[in-house]
Amino acid sequence: MKKLFISLVIIKDSLIGIGDLDMGGERFEIKKSTDGQFYFVLVAPNNEVIAKSEMYKSKDGCENGIRAVKEYAPTALIVDKTI
C-alpha cells in the first residue's frame, strides 16, 4: 500500500468539515503541476489552503488520496514527533 504524505495544519486540535460542500465552504481541490502530475489541497472556509498532498502520476491516484484522507483523518491520532 502506498503511503500518503500530507501536511495538515490543526485548527483547535481538530480537522472538521472535510466533506463535499459548495465552493464557499471547506473543500478539496484537485490541481495539476507544471510537469503534469496531480495533487490536491484542502481549503478552509476562509479560502486558506490548510493541507497539500504529495504528487500523483494519475488523477485517479489523486482522487484515491482524497478518499483516504476523508476516511482516516476523522479518527487519526495527533503524534508530536518534536518531543
- Of 41 and 3, which is predicted with more confidence? 41
Q: What is the pLDDT of residue 26?
A: 95
**SS3 at position 4:** coil
Full-model pTM: 0.69
Band of pLDDT at residue 15, cut at 50, 70 and 90: very low
Neighbours of 15 (CB within 10 A): 20
**SS3 at position 68:** helix
Domains of the chain: 16-75 (3.30.160.160)
C-alpha dist (Å) from residue 11 to 4, 8, 34, 55, 63: 21, 9, 30, 24, 24
Q: What is the pLDDT of residue 23?
A: 60
Give tens-digit pLDDT for 21-73. 456 699 999 999 999 999 999 999 999 999 999 999 999 999 999 999 999 99
Q: What is the pLDDT of residue 41?
A: 98
